[in-house]
Amino acid sequence: MPPAENGSWLTDAVIYEIYPQSFQDTNGDGIGDLRGVIDRLDYIASLGVDAIWFNPCFASPFFDAGYDVADYLQIAPRYGTNDDMVELIDKARERGIRIILDLVAGHTSIEHEWFQVELHADGPSPEGDRYIWREDEPASGWANDVPGQPAWVRSPGPRQGWYLKNFYDEQPALNFGWVEPDPAHPWRQPVDAPGPLRNQQALKDILDFWLGKGVAGFRVDMAFSLVKDEGLFQGWIASSAIWRNIREWLDEAYPDAVLIPEGEEPRTGERLAFDADFMLVIHAPHASLFDDQSAGILPWHESRRPFFGAAGEGSTGMFLDTWALYREAEPERKVIIATADHDFNRLRAGRTPEELRTAFTFLFTWGSVPSLYFGDEIGMRYLPDMPNVEGAICNPSYNRAGARTPMQWDATENAGFSTAAAEDLYLPIDPDPDRPTVAAQDGVEGSTLSFVRELVALRRQHPELQGHASTTVVHAGYPFAWLRGENYLVVVNPRREAAAIETTAGAGMTPIFGSGAELTEGGVEVEGFGYGIFAR
């Protein structure tokens, strides 16, 4: 059962993801800040986007780039103040742009007051522990998702024992209980124990605080890892129940607020709590379309050629199979597909501006909710061999820092990102003298930036290219072709060689956007890197 359509604005939206450390620095410390985003709102609005999604902005020691929260109710001082966030929300709203924040729900920083109180306690809190503590020494071999590192960490303070972490040692897992409590292990508390209930209420309090200040919603990090003995075979039923309870509260308190999960929401047969699924960049279905593996290969990836590649050796099969599963379960369900994000490769990934156009045409017309990662609109590249800043290298096989380098605004020092000395920047600027910049592309016909603006404007002009109309695949290979509703045919050929198909899908249509694509009497012919949108 789908959630109430209170957040229906998301269906036709275009999201712009900003990694705040790298967008615009206004105080010369080498790190981006909220004032920089405020100063660039007219630029963001010129893209035609409907919402900005920020990576975590809350107070943090930034061991993991802000995904280690020390205070959920305070903006990190390096970004500004709570008042700066409110000003940003208000000024963005004036331009028709909503603000979505990132909520890390499953763990905090070791510097969070909650953890410090429990770390210095003599034993369990009478109100219920917020974290998962054990006094008996854990068995070896229980590891989490950081290769080779145990899941339990010995207490570094007065409290005896070990705490459970989620990722790094500096990220203690919050206690949301266990599906199967075990009297022999008192740390395995039921989901309705006092500690887990305290944390459920804390999530509502955090949401209430920021939604009350005008935030439009949240993307929730690790949304379905709250209850620790759940997984693929258990179906994440208990974690989903927590979010359903929060959704019921939101429907009354903030009916227009949206919740977006990291990944897809488990189907449990109950009402869905989140407003969309998110096809993650680091997962294989998205990677099979775009990732040339220049950032490395994750353990769950196979060596493969991306479909959007000049060699024309990829396949849409894995993506379409996943998409079909989404649609089969919930035909009207919103699905977010990003150009890239802060955790992996960039869309450019060796592609020329000419090649990028087929990818953008797909992303903005497929029928998903497109998420445009900052800098992709000008074709910024992934930079290899970046330093391990704020936990960027969390797996030996890939480095996230290459997708987190500063925005390239112009040809001035530090590409207009900051007045700080180069060695003080959050990450180095792309050293290529021909690096793309906003200034070099703004208003220039044929530039990547102009192309993105035109395509987003076309999407807004023709509602059937947005999120409500059906998407029907006409041809799954080269060229890739699909119908939107009954009146639009979209065709892209990401390879360098020309391609053609026989189809009557475009009968009676005329071109409204594109290059190198032509309807013929019996089908469609598309030049290498060609694309076209046709309408009745």
Give the pairing of strands 523-535 and 152-154: unpaired
What is the CA 462 to chain-centroid distance, rounded? 26
Q: Point out which residues pair with 488 in neighbouring strands.
A: 484, 535
Label residue 485 left, alpha or beta by phi (over 0 means left) and psi (-120 to 50 means alpha): left
In 3D space, the residue among 517, 532, 523, 528 whose CA is nearest the CA of residue 458 turns out to be 532
Q: Would you state the pLDDT for residue 379?
A: 98
Contact 168, 68 (CB under 8 A): yes
Q: DSSP label at 301?
A: P
Determine the pLDDT at residue 4: 39
What's the distance, CA 153 to chain centroid?
29
pLDDT of residue 2: 40
**Side-chain-facing half-sphere of 177: CA atoms under 13 Å:** 22
As a CATH number, domain 470-535 is: 2.60.40.1180
What's the CA dihedral at 502, 288, 373, 29 to 10 degrees?
-150
Q: Would you state the pLDDT for residue 3? A: 43
What's the confidence (pLDDT) of residue 139? 77
Answer for the pair 19, 55: CB distance below 8 angstroms, yes or no. Answer: yes
Cβ(519)–Cβ(533) under 8 Å?
Answer: no
The crossing angle, in degrees rounded to 10, of helices 448-461 and 353-365 is 20
Q: 5-104+280-460 adopts what CATH topology? A: TIM Barrel (3.20.20)
Contact between 167 and 107 (Cβ < 8 Å): yes
Does this model's pTM top 0.85? My answer is yes
Closest CA to 85 of 105, 100, 66: 100
Residue 75 in contact with residue 34, Cβ under 8 Å? yes
DSSP of 425-476, one letter per residue? SSSPPP--TT---HHHHTT-TT-HHHHHHHHHHHHHHSGGGSSSS-EEEEES
Which pLDDT tens digit goes with each residue over 318-344? 999 999 988 887 888 999 999 999 998
Q: What residue spans define the domains of the chain?
A: 5-104+280-460, 107-173, 470-535
Q: Write down the pLDDT at residue 349.
A: 86
Kindly compute the dihedral angle of the four CA atoms of residues 304, 436, 466, 269, in this order, to the nearest 10 degrees: 50
pLDDT at 142: 53
- Could you give the CA distance from residue 121 to residue 78 in angstroms, rounded to a whole number? 31
CA neighbours closer than 13 Å in the CB half-sphere of residue 172: 25
Instruction: Print pLDDT tens along the chain (536 aa).
Output: 344 356 689 999 999 999 999 999 999 999 999 999 999 999 999 999 999 999 999 999 999 999 999 999 999 999 999 999 999 999 999 999 999 999 999 999 999 999 999 999 999 999 999 999 999 988 765 544 444 567 999 999 999 999 999 999 999 999 999 999 998 999 999 999 999 999 999 999 999 999 999 999 999 998 999 998 887 667 899 999 999 999 999 999 999 999 999 999 999 999 999 999 999 998 889 999 999 887 777 777 777 789 999 999 999 999 999 999 888 878 889 999 999 999 988 999 889 999 999 999 999 999 999 999 999 999 999 999 999 999 999 878 789 999 999 999 999 999 999 999 999 999 999 999 999 999 999 999 999 999 999 999 999 999 999 999 999 999 999 999 999 999 999 999 999 999 999 999 999 999 999 999 999 999 999 999 999 999 99
- With respect to CATH, is domain 107-173 assigned 3.90.400.10? yes
Domains 107-173 and 470-535 share a fold: no
